[in-house]
Amino acid sequence: FDWWAQAMASLGYAVLQPNFRGSAGYGPDFVTKGHGQWGRKMQTDLSDGVRWLASQGTIDPKRVAILGASYGGYAAMAGATLDPGVYRCSIAIAGVSDPKSFIDFEESNVTSSKSSRVMYWKQFLGDPKTYDEISPVRQAGRADCPLLLIHGTDDTVVPIDQSKRMEKALKAAGKPVEFVTYKGQDHWETVGSARIEMMKAALAFLE
């Protein structure tokens, strides 16, 4: 059960949940295919799915939204900035907006830059020299659709600073953005009352 997908489907939206490369459930080789592919093939796997649905006549390609949380939050921001021309709007929940500052945050919370946690992120993000290329913050000027940013104040996995950075960059670039925060909400959206309010905000933005 996925509450975001079910809520959207119950209102008549067609929902695509692709198993893009790097995701679990298809064995280690499929996960490895995602290494170094944040903002690259992991992203175009999503837009390829959108184009396929459009070719089948299932969706109107001019009325597609991208919504996601955690990595999906990054993908939603990247969809608006790194893969233009695909989405009408973007809803990013608790997403990484700037790989460099996020890695700095991760390294500040461990005793070694070679910790398994840090190495995990670095595997997927790829060459540090290219971080700016896959950073929605650094590419905010390319945003071609409105964005809604949602983040809980008690997120210890992806700090709320990541959404604050994105809001600041989009405003500086003159791009449309809304930012909603929820006091006490964590990365896993376990506070039920805030979860309902998050969904209401997302639906209002979509409509």
Active site residues: 70, 155, 187
Cα gap 180→205, rounded to integer Å: 11
Mode of pairing for the β-strands spanning 147-152 and 89-93:
parallel
Residue type, 56: Q
How many angstroms separate the CA atoms of 144 and 155, rounded? 28
Question: In this structure, what token pair is assigned to residue 40?
Answer: 């690259």
